Amino acid sequence: MPSTRRAYIVPLPGQRTLPLGERCLVMGILNITPDSFAERFPKTDPDVAIDAALRMQDEGADLIDIGGESTRPGAEPVSADEERRRVLPVIERLAPQLRIPISVDTYKSEVARDAVAAGASIINDVRGLRTDPRVATVAAETGAALIVMHSRGVSKTMYAEAVYEDVIVDATRELGESLVTAAARGVPRERTIVDPGIGFAKRVAHSYGVLARLPELAAALDRPLLVGPSRKSFMRDAIGDVRPAERDWGTAAAIAAAVLAGVHIVRVHNVAAMRQVVRVAEEVLNHG
């Protein structure tokens, strides 16, 4: 049964705002890493990355999420200096060219601070402030919006910690703890967005369970929802062991389900195709 979507206005730096709720927004993923799980051709060259971001904007992206460290299961961490070396030149050059907000995908406060100074207006912490709560301090001091994602452990250990009494109840409680941490560091609740972390410290059944019960999470937390199922491995039981770059049909189904559940933002690799999915699912939602 289609869900309704609550409306929010998320403040951004520079007296800008991000209106959420009238329609589902599309966030394009820009991985500036040599080991991205989902792409055949790494975008480590700044010129290639910038061209990709501009192309995503032309294809209809509403936001661009830029990351310099792979968060796939088993990925090796990189230093803050290396992460900055990868993302800062791209953000600095993109900020004057893009009409849409830039999000930086990092769990390191020093990277977050420099990225916002370079032009990012949203910080996307995939560890939900568990690793470095000072990320919230950066958001509070700079006025950046803050996305907190549900996860457990680190890339190499997350699946060992995928044990839940009830995945939605547990994820809701732990995301609530992240919001409490953010508030304690001075981030107004109105500047927060939550992500249930599909595929992060979650077995296949957990990821499908989250997708099936998104309205419960939204009602419990009363914050905008971001969902990122794009090309993730939980789909393999349903579609077979195909390469990540060939999982766009499976991604489309997950994105449609998320839109019908009332999410505010979907995070995707293939902007052009998934924008079509979002728009058609929106029409179903609007006529429900």
pLDDT in tens, 45-66: 899 999 999 999 999 999 999 9
Mean pLDDT of the chain: 93
pLDDT (0 to 100) of residue 162: 87
| Rounded distance between C-alpha atoms, residue 64 and residue 232, angstroms | 19
Alpha helices in the chain (DSSP H): 46-58, 80-94, 109-118, 134-142, 167-184, 204-212, 214-221, 236-239, 248-260, 271-286
| Rounded distance between C-alpha atoms, residue 105 and residue 93, angstroms | 17
Torsion of CA 218, 202, 113, 50, to 10 degrees: -100
pLDDT (0 to 100) of residue 3: 62
pLDDT in tens, 65-109: 999 998 776 778 899 999 999 999 999 999 999 999 999 999 999
Half-sphere exposure (Cβ direction) of 70: Cα atoms closer than 13 Å = 16
Catalytic residue numbers, as ranges: 232, 267
pLDDT (0 to 100) of residue 222: 97
Helix (H) or strand (E) holding 242: none
- Contact in structure between 115 and 145 (CB atoms under 8 Å): no
| Rounded distance between C-alpha atoms, residue 24 and residue 7, angstroms | 11
Instruction: Give the torsion sign (CA, 125, 65, 194, 119).
Output: positive
Between β-strands 8-12 and 16-20, what pairing exists: parallel, antiparallel or unpaired? antiparallel
Residue matched to tokens 């009830």: 166
Confidence of residue 265 (pLDDT cuts 50, 70, 90): very high
Other Cβ atoms less than 10 A from the Cβ of 28: the count is 28
Confidence of residue 41 (pLDDT cuts 50, 70, 90): very low
Q: Is 196 helix (H, G, I), strand (E, B) or coil?
A: coil
Delineate the domains of the chain, giving CATH numbers in brackets.
8-286 (3.20.20.20)
The strand pairing partners of 19, in sequence order, are 9
Q: What is the pTM of this model?
A: 0.95
- Residue 43: pLDDT over 80: no
Burial class (CB in 10 A: 0-12, 13-18, 19+), 39: middle
Read off the pLDDT of each residue in 284-288 and give the average, rounded to a whole number.
89
pLDDT in tens, 102-156: 999 999 999 999 999 999 999 999 999 999 999 999 999 999 999 999 999 887 7
The strand pairing partners of 89, in sequence order, are none
Q: Which two tokens stand for residue 259?
A: 């839109």
Q: Which residues contact 176 (CB under 8 A, 6 or more apart)?
A: 220, 221
Q: Which two tokens stand for residue 138?
A: 């950066």
pLDDT in tens, 172-229: 999 999 999 999 999 999 999 999 999 999 999 999 999 999 999 999 999 999 999 9
pLDDT more than 90, % of the chain: 86
- Contact in structure between 65 and 30 (CB atoms under 8 Å): yes
pLDDT (0 to 100) of residue 38: 54
Residue matched to tokens 């907000």: 101
pLDDT in tens, 237-264: 999 999 998 999 999 999 999 999 999 9
pLDDT (0 to 100) of residue 271: 98
- Residue 35: pLDDT over 90: no
